[in-house]
Amino acid sequence: MKIAVVLGTRPEIIKMAPIIDEIIQRGIDLTLIHTGQHYDKEMSDNFFRDLEIPAPNYNIRVGSGSHGKQTGLMMKGIEEVLMDEKPDIVLVQGDTNAVLAGALVASKLHIAVGHVEAGLRSFDMTMPEEINRMACDVTSTMYFIPTEESAINLLAEGYSRKNLFITGNTVVDACFRHLEIAKKRGFEEESLASLNIDNMDNILTLTMHRAENVDDKNRVSNIIGALKELKEMNIIFPIHPRTKKTLQDFGLFDELNDLSHVHIIKPVGYLDFLQLTSKSTLILTDSGGLQEEAITLNVPALTLRYNTERPETVTAGGNILVGSDKDAILENAEKILNDKEFADKMRNAPNPYGQGNSAKLTVDAIKDYYEKGLLNITAPEDIMTSFKRKMALIKEDMTVGDFEKKNNALIHMVFDGDKMRFPADDLNIKEMCVTYDEYE
């Protein structure tokens, strides 16, 4: 079996690292393709170093540019590699342009696509990420999904439950594996050593890079307005290159940099960043990955967005959406700082993203599909049988698997009272309502 992994940005490197490790440890052939979307040492090479992943076999070096140009160049480059390498499956992760490019190219070459971190939805089509993740899901063969809630998003869009695997999120694997290594190593990076980081009281770790925040002068000014007033916090801001550029263009960089309680530093390597976040009193962010890491590391998060494709973190109680609303940022930050009960409740929110075995579950599922021949994408030769779409209330004790066998059916949705459930094979559906396709 040969697996190709396409990645191109900082979060993809971090979240694919545990899967890459798992592939290598099992002796499976790996082709690693870097799109080159992130190219600064601090956004790419340092993560290969910290996470100990091999250098990519190919780097397409697309660099920065408009969405069309970047995605188009990626498609051309990835297609050439896949035609040579002929992998059994191409794995893409998350919602960047690499996901869109990799999935479109592979599926048209009739190569199976595995979408890691599938099923997330912000329901906001103005986000390039929402377009990327939805377009990728249309072309994928296997879906590796962090939570039941995200799996239900895919069921609601009509995807067959058979190809959906709830694996947790590999970010938990990455956090758990590297935090211990990081603690032993201590803060060595120049960027952090220069900060008098020994005083870890009231650390607020800030990251922001979302286009809808940092490309909007009004929103970014509101956020800076709040930061100015949070004088009792020690604000550490590893700045994303996009954000540095736009703050400079808006003439806001110096104003922020001059504040004595705000430390703007270069993006930090993963080991240092994990230590920084795990010792923080509060995380203020618009990052997707950081919302997940905050709840994994038991640190309260305030998210600088009006929606999130990680709603589990909010319902679990570890994350609050504050948008770019200055008052909401200040009010919640003050509460986390001064109201111990409130802060403890956020810290103790249960982690919805699994136990840290997501990479293992993902590679297990791929191996199983490979062995059953389910990664072979060929034109159908069976005459399509007709089926009826039906609904039933189940009276007797039976599992999803039993029902499907008995009725030659495929269950789509399960309603347990007013709660939707994922139809896992072994779910007992007595007293539940199901919708299903019945085949002749």
Contact set with ligand UD1 (CB under 6 A): 9-11, 37-40, 43, 64, 95-97, 128-129, 209, 240-242, 245
79-138 residues in contact with ligand UDP (CB under 6 A) are none
Of 288, 292, 369, 377, the C-alpha closest to 95 is: 288
Nearer of residues 128 and 401 to ligand UDP, judged by Cβ: 128
Give CA separation, 216 vs 116, 237, 286, in Å: 30, 19, 14
Answer yes or no whether residue 288 interacts with ligand UDP by CB under 6 A. Answer: yes
Q: 40 touches which of ligand UDP, ligand UD1, none (CB within 5 to 8 A by kind)?
A: ligand UD1
> Tokens at residue 39, please?
């190219």
Q: Which residues contact 103 (CB under 8 A, 6 or more apart)?
A: 90, 92, 113, 115, 135, 136, 139, 140
Q: Give me the least distance between CB of 383 and ligand UDP, in Å please.
A: 45
Q: Is 408 left (phi over 0), alpha (psi -120 to 50) or beta?
A: left
Nearer of residues 114 and 288 to ligand UD1, judged by Cβ: 288
Question: Is residue 264 a contact partner of residue 236, using CB atoms and an 8 Å limit?
Answer: no
Q: Would residue 209 show up in a list of annotated catalytic residues for this protein?
A: yes
Nearer of residues 67 and 388 to ligand UD1, judged by Cβ: 67
* Angstrom distance (rounded) from CA 136 to CA 145: 13
Each residue 174-213 as x (binds ligand UDP by CB under 6 A) or -, in order, gives ---------------------------------x-x----
> Tokens at residue 288, please?
């997707």
> Tokens at residue 218, please?
């009004």
Give the helix ranges, DSSP H, for 109-250: 128-139, 148-156, 170-185, 190-193, 211-214, 217-229, 241-249
Strand order across the beta sheet in which 419-421 lies:
387-393, 433-439, 409-416, 419-421
Q: How many binding residues for ligand UDP (CB under 6 A)?
A: 15
Of 176, 118, 184, the C-alpha closest to 145 is: 118
Q: Give me the least distance between CB of 144 and ligand UD1, in Å please.
A: 18
Q: 268 touches which of ligand UDP, ligand UD1, none (CB within 5 to 8 A by kind)?
A: ligand UDP
Q: 235 touches which of ligand UDP, ligand UD1, none (CB within 5 to 8 A by kind)?
A: none
Q: Give me the least distance between CB of 167 and ligand UD1, in Å please.
A: 21
Q: Is 428 left (phi over 0), alpha (psi -120 to 50) or beta?
A: beta
Answer yes or no whether residue 356 interacts with ligand UDP by CB under 6 A. Answer: no
* Angstrom distance (rounded) from CA 360 to CA 126: 34
Nearer of residues 352 and 423 to ligand UDP, judged by Cβ: 352
Q: Which residues contact 134 (CB under 8 A, 6 or more apart)?
A: 121
Q: 72 touches which of ligand UDP, ligand UD1, none (CB within 5 to 8 A by kind)?
A: none
* Angstrom distance (rounded) from CA 326 to CA 227: 9
Q: Which of 209, 240, 263, 412 is catalytic?
A: 209
Q: Give me the least distance between CB of 274 and ligand UDP, in Å please.
A: 7
Nearer of residues 210 and 360 to ligand UDP, judged by Cβ: 210
Each residue 33-52 as x (binds ligand UDP by CB under 6 A) or -, in order, gives --------------------
Q: 270 touches which of ligand UDP, ligand UD1, none (CB within 5 to 8 A by kind)?
A: ligand UDP
Q: Classify 141 as helix, strand or coil.
A: coil
> Tokens at residue 25, please?
């440890």
Give CA separation, 84 vs 34, 80, 180, in Å: 16, 7, 40
> Residue from 5, 14, 106, 224 that binds ligand UDP (CB under 6 A)?
14
Of 340, 288, 345, the C-alpha closest to 318 is: 345
Q: Give me the least distance between CB of 80 and ligand UDP, in Å please.
A: 27
- Stretch in the footprint of ligand UDP (CB under 6 A) among 80-88, 267-275, 345-353, 417-425: 267-275
Answer yes or no whether residue 289 interacts with ligand UDP by CB under 6 A. Answer: yes
Answer yes or no whether residue 268 interacts with ligand UDP by CB under 6 A. Answer: yes
* Angstrom distance (rounded) from CA 164 to CA 422: 10
Nearer of residues 140 and 243 to ligand UDP, judged by Cβ: 243
> Tokens at residue 32, please?
């690693």
Nearer of residues 11 and 354 to ligand UDP, judged by Cβ: 11
> Residue from 8, 36, 87, 238 that binds ligand UDP (CB under 6 A)?
238
Nearer of residues 40 and 80 to ligand UD1, judged by Cβ: 40
Q: Give me the least distance between CB of 184 and ligand UD1, in Å please.
A: 27
Catalytic (active-site) positions? 209
Footprint of ligand UDP on this chain (CB under 6 A)? 10-11, 14, 207, 209, 238, 267-268, 270, 273, 287-290, 293
